[in-house]
Amino acid sequence: MNFPDANILEVDLSRGNIKKTILEGRLHRLYPGGSALGTYILLKELRPKTDPLSPDNVLVFSVSPLTGLPIAGANRITVTTKSPLTDGIGDSQAGGFFPAYLRANGWNAIVFKGRAESPVYLYIDGDRVELRDARGIWGKVTGDGERLIREDLGEEDIDIAQIGPGGENLVKFANIINMCNRANGRNGTGAVMGSKNLKAVVVKKRLGLIPVDRENFQRLVKEGMDRFKNSHGLQQLGEHGTNRGLINHHRNGFLATRNWISGYFPEGAENITGTTMTKTILKDRDTCYACPIRCKRVVEIEGKVDPIYGGPEYETAASFGSYCGITSLETIALANQLCNMYGLDTISCGATISFAMECFEKGILTLEDTGGIELTFGNDEALLEVIEKVGKREGIGNLLAEGSYRAARIIGKGAEKYSMTAKKQELPAHMPQYKPSLGLIYAVNPFGADHQSSAHDPVLTLPPESQDRKNLAMIGVYRGYDDNFELDEDKTLFAFKTQCFESTIDTLSLCQFVWGFSALYGPKDLVDLAQYGIGWDTSIYELMEIGERKINMMRYFNAREGFTREDDTLPERLFEPFRDGPSKGVALDREKYERSKELYYEIAGWDKETGNPREGTLKRLALAWLIRLGMPH
């Protein structure tokens, strides 16, 4: 086939100009969506060392040619920019229905440049695209923003991706929200949107894509549905959401608790699990375009929690629960609602507050610093008050809106060692002490600590005949393990190869719960999806190379910004043995970790001294044009 061209919408907010450009198919095939396309555009358009919150930064919304196909999981959107949180490449995905509608309107990407003189939002109805006045919507939380945009347009058949006051106030971990509860979280993409005076992107609802080979495509859909019906794990994901596994992390002693001091939360773990949520405050289960799993939580507490704001995921339950010593599911649901109202990343917000709680308990922060708030672990009222202050950048919230890395350096007094970050981004709630290869990925990942950039160690303890292990074998990972804790050559290879595959999943704007290492679809099915969906005759080899290419473009981007292997680090606390619970005495093995990181650089084809891609690696991945731009030093 001739690979489809990419239709790109370029919006110059400073001048109010909108134009359509085309990325021809031969190049689009190398960067077929997601942050591969976004990073390609940034490398072409953005000068190194640009202030992330200046008008000169570039903000890219992108989907793939597969987005909107009527099959589970083919419906994600990526936002790529220079991150105000990490100062490196910024990458963030979200689901819902917005991605399918954007693709159905005929667009593969939107590129925003400059800064509008006053607040605006972008409206897209096919080729009819216009900037509209958002001054009456600026300052509103997302629920009110959604209502006011619908009133302004006089339309209901639209979908909206917007920022809340967090993005407007340039909170470093502000996100972009669609449906009032689906977040392009992490990396502070919402702050970049706010810095551009861009309140929202609105798309007209349209039907999705029609597969080119309908008969075989429907067979693929049916195979997935049959697997779903027979998969206990995916049934549990639908019934109890991503929070279904929290209690097991606690029982094993690896649920991050009180700013990662412990992995054990006996006073509250049972209260905040997905099963408890299902039994108590769950109102409904929501879904994304064409997906039968319905893993999205919708919770309601009369007079307190509005179901429009969805419900807590695993990461949210951990970051506002065990991280902060909070035992109340109601408080966590309220915290989740506040973050979705203000547009704040729940992981970074909860982790930054738990950092502040430890600083307060150690006397590094005082009542004078907090404005009289008793910011202690387990203080429900303090947690909720501080979230709102972060969204408004008021009082102590103004400091914490910088994220824990920057806040620690502003505070001083030894606070730096309590910031649980990698590349200035707060760690998600999967502990490297339990999943050591994931810790390696936290360190080397270009856009900071991220739990969805590779497969997790426990998958290797499954039987070889399991579907997950068969899927791993398709990308060259064969060896299994009796437990999670080893970090040797084979485990390092597992980390690298699954990182490349998950990078492909993100590039193709697919959901990892459906197309990653699960019992629904695997690598071979992805090849079939490409063939039956859009007539793309591809291979697992090409798909893996696409993922690796994206990672190397991101490392090159960071190298231009001054990043080196010295930035591939983890917090010291991960190497300190736990003092209590079932995991007492366990720590990440420093010697194995350092040896694994050295090996990872060799496998990836990166210079051991700098951590940057070698010229030969870039040439192998069809990235010789980056060499012509100049190799960073």
Asked whether the predicted pLDDT for residue 633 surpasses 80, the reply is no
**CB neighbour class for 227 (10 Å; exposed up to 12, middle 13-18, buried from 19):** middle
The C-alpha atoms of residue 607 and residue 125 are separated, in whole angstroms, by 47
DSSP track, 82-96: E-TTTSSEEEEEE-S
CA distance 550 to 100: 22
Which residue type occupies 355? Answer: F
The tokens describing 10, both together, are 């370029």
**What's the rounded Cα separation, in Å, for the pair 30 and 28?**
5
Query: How many Å from the N-terminal Cα to the C-terminal Cα in the chain?
Result: 40
List b or e across 350-362, with b for residues whose CB sees 16 or more CB atoms inside 10 angstroms: bbbbbbbbbbbee
Is-contact 126 119, C-beta < 8 A? no
pLDDT confidence bin for 200, thresholds 50/70/90: very high
The three-point CA angle 409-398-448 to 5° equals: 55
- Which pLDDT score is estimated for 441? 98
Alpha helix ranges (H) inside 344-435: 346-361, 367-370, 380-392, 396-400, 403-411
Instruction: Give CA torsion, residues 375, 257, 571, 244, to 10 deg.
Output: -130
Please give the pLDDT value at position 356: 98
pLDDT at 630: 80
Rounded average pLDDT over 4-11: 98
> What percent of the chain is helix, strand and coil (3-state, nearest 5)?
45, 15, 40
Q: Give me the mean pLDDT over the 562-573 stretch.
A: 97
Secondary structure class of 363 (helix, strand, coil): coil
Q: What is residue 82's predicted lDDT score, i.e. its pLDDT?
A: 98
Q: Would you say residue 1 has pLDDT above 80?
A: no
256-280: average pLDDT:
97
| 400 SS3 class | helix
Cα–Cα dist 149/132, whole Å: 10
Find how far residue 598's CA is from the centre of its chain.
26
What's the order of all strands across the beta sheet hosting 109-113?
17-23, 6-12, 109-113, 59-62, 77-82, 89-94
pLDDT of 115 strictly over 70: yes
> In this structure, what token pair is assigned to residue 184?
């392009």
Please enumerate in sequence order all residues whose Cβ is within 8 A of that of 603, keeping only pairs 6 or more positions apart, or say none. 492, 493, 496
Q: What is the mean pLDDT of residues 27-54?
A: 97
CA distance 504 to 452: 12
CA distance 507 to 266: 40
How far is CA 368 from each of CA 353, 372, 390, 395, 411, rounded to the nearest angstrom?
17, 6, 17, 10, 13
CA 400 – CA 381 distance, rounded (Å): 17
Q: Give tens-digit pLDDT for 71-103.
A: 999 999 999 999 999 999 999 999 999 999 999
Q: Identify the CA nearest to 61 among candidates 13, 112, 129, 126.
A: 112
CA 271 → CA 7, 53, 54, 279, distances in Å? Answer: 48, 40, 44, 11
Sign of CA dihedral 25, 30, 33, 39: negative
Single-letter amino acid code for the residue at 124:
I
> Using one digit for the tens of pLDDT, what is the confidence trace for 389-403?
999 999 999 999 999
Sequence letter at residue 573: R
Q: Are strands 109-113 and 6-12 parallel, antiparallel or unpaired?
A: parallel
d(CA 486, CA 494): 12
pLDDT in tens, 299-345: 999 999 999 999 999 999 999 999 999 999 999 999 999 999 999 99
User: So what's the pLDDT on residue 208?
Assistant: 83
Please give the Cα distance from 77 to 226 (Å, whole number).
27
pLDDT tens, 473-518? 999 999 999 999 999 999 999 999 999 999 999 999 999 999 987 7
Q: Which backbone phi and psi does 389 adopt, to 5 degrees? A: -65, -35
Exposed e or buried b per residue across 560-584, where buried means at least 16 C-beta atoms within 10 angstroms of its C-beta:
bbebebebbebbebbbeebeebebe
Q: What is the SS3 assignment for 463?
A: coil
CA distances from 544 to 26, 303, 475, 492, 502 (A): 18, 49, 8, 17, 9
| 3-state DSSP assignment of residue 119 | coil
- The domains located in the chain, with CATH, are 6-204 (3.60.9.10), 231-244+253-426 (1.10.569.10), 436-507+539-548+562-601 (1.10.599.10)
Q: Which amino acid is at 325?
A: G
Q: Give dist(CA 558, CA 560) in Å, integer.
A: 5
Residue type, 347: I
Give the pLDDT mean for 624-629.
92
